[in-house]
Amino acid sequence: MNKDMLGIIDATTVHKGLEELTIHRSVAAIPFGGRYRLIDFILSNMVNSDIQSVGIFSKYQYRSLMDHLGSGRNWDLNRKRDGLFFFPSTSFDKPVTGIGPFEDFAANIDFFKRSSQKYALVANSYTVFNMDFRTVLEEHINNDHEITEVRKDGAPLGIYLLKKDLLIDLIETRQDTGYLSMKDVVNDLNAPYKVGYFSYEGFAIMIDSINSYFEASKRLLQPEIWQRLFVKGRPILTKVKDEPPARYTSSSSVHNAMIANGCYIEGVVENSIIARGVTIGKGSVVKNSIIMQKTKIGENCYLDHVILDKDVKIADGTELMGEEGNPYVIRKGRVQGVWKN
């Protein structure tokens, strides 16, 4: 029996609650955990589930996403047969509120028809989790479901499994049925399909707002969450960057933090995630914060409950403070204070 799955990642979704982080990038490309992007989790889960062909559908600000994915080599998807396929949208109409935009799929229907896989897994690009989809497929087949929706604690995770031929039919009949996405099909109580639900018991959190992003990031600092998310044998893969190890001076102090490669730390870091290539000056204190790639923090600064996007510069003596449930966000490339080179 052909149990091969075709991976479909919907990277078209727009979340208004994430606007501060999506001015120059899509939701799928938001940095996470110091060295990853949000799309790395679903893409790695697919690869670890023996999915060898993945189509990524995007719509807005997708340049950084394309740069991150490249040929798919870091996920072993740079293949002569199957592999990674990227489909930018040709339509920029009002976004569909549901995973799996059939209009975008229809514009690339040949991709689906030429694929040899029997089943299709349609998923969002912004859920942080680690899952083996082969267990979903087994339950889908054993229960003779036509569509299986993955849920966590009874709530949908925006992940659907169905036969590829059924997906093609749903795409081609969208104007007759009125279904615009997989969510529309599953939520229609009168739909003529046998829908089942797979209950996922592991750690999972959907990133759809600044607060959910901040909360998910903080939870990475808990060892039990880290162990549930980064599972031996099912690695979360990402774009490889060759950088030197982080450097710590005698004036530095780090407690309960994640520090990526290429950082230079002279100050104090507590309960924070520091991405690649960040510098933190002498006398500065960074607490309960997320600092993204290549940001420069000067001397004698104080940052608490702050999210600094990439390439931000914080001048000497600057104080920035957010609060629980409302972190202070500075957009990519901004300069705070009078920066002296």
Residue 1's pLDDT band, with cuts at 50, 70 and 90, is very low
Distance CA 128, CA 12 (A): 17
My answer on whether 212 and 273 are in the same domain is no
My answer on whether 69 and 207 are in the same domain is yes
My answer on whether 185 and 325 are in the same domain is no
Q: Smallest Cα–Cα separation from 106: which of 177, 158, 168, 53?
A: 168
Whether residue 38 is contained in a domain is answered as: yes
The predicted pLDDT at position 2 comes to: 58
Whether residue 75 is contained in a domain is answered as: yes
pLDDT tops 70 at residue 92: no
The residue-averaged pLDDT of 31-49 equals 96
| Chosen domain end from 229, 262, 280 | 229
Token pair, residue 89, equals: 């949208």
Whether residue 111 is contained in a domain is answered as: yes
pLDDT in tens, 198-227: 999 999 999 999 999 999 999 999 999 999
Domain count of the fold of the chain: 2
Whether residue 311 is contained in a domain is answered as: yes
Q: Which of 93-107, 130-144, 286-300 has the weakest average pLDDT?
A: 93-107
Pair 298, 282: CB distance under 8 Å: no
pTM of the model: 0.94
The predicted pLDDT at position 196 comes to: 96
Residue type, 249: T
The predicted pLDDT at position 295 comes to: 97
Pair 106, 17: CB distance under 8 Å: no
- Residue 303 belongs to a domain with what CATH number? 2.160.10.10
Which bin fits 271, alpha (ψ -120 to 50), beta or left (φ > 0)?
left
My answer on whether 207 and 287 are in the same domain is no
Print the domain residue range for 309.
247-336
The residue-averaged pLDDT of 27-49 equals 96
My answer on whether 215 and 139 are in the same domain is yes
pLDDT tops 80 at residue 340: no
My answer on whether 218 and 292 are in the same domain is no
Whether residue 238 is contained in a domain is answered as: no
My answer on whether 306 and 221 are in the same domain is no
My answer on whether 275 and 308 are in the same domain is yes
Residue 97's pLDDT band, with cuts at 50, 70 and 90, is low
The pLDDT mean for the chain works out to 93
Pair 316, 340: CB distance under 8 Å: yes
- Residue 138 belongs to a domain with what CATH number? 3.90.550.10
My answer on whether 219 and 254 are in the same domain is no
My answer on whether 278 and 173 are in the same domain is no
pLDDT in tens, 155-192: 999 999 999 999 999 999 999 999 999 999 999 999 99
The predicted pLDDT at position 24 comes to: 87
To which residue do tokens 């991150």 refer?
68
Distance CA 273, CA 289 (A): 7
Output 187 or 337, whichever has higher pLDDT: 187
CB atoms within 10 A of CB 7: 26
My answer on whether 197 and 314 are in the same domain is no
| Chosen domain end from 229, 257, 273 | 229
My answer on whether 267 and 136 are in the same domain is no
Whether residue 240 is contained in a domain is answered as: no
| Chosen domain end from 163, 197, 229 | 229
The residue-averaged pLDDT of 21-41 equals 95
Whether residue 114 is contained in a domain is answered as: yes
Whether residue 45 is contained in a domain is answered as: yes
The predicted pLDDT at position 98 comes to: 76
pLDDT in tens, 239-256: 988 889 999 999 999 999
Distance CA 303, CA 278 (A): 14
Residue 120's pLDDT band, with cuts at 50, 70 and 90, is very high
Distance set, CA 68 to CA 38, 40, 62, 65, 86 (Å) = 11, 10, 10, 5, 12
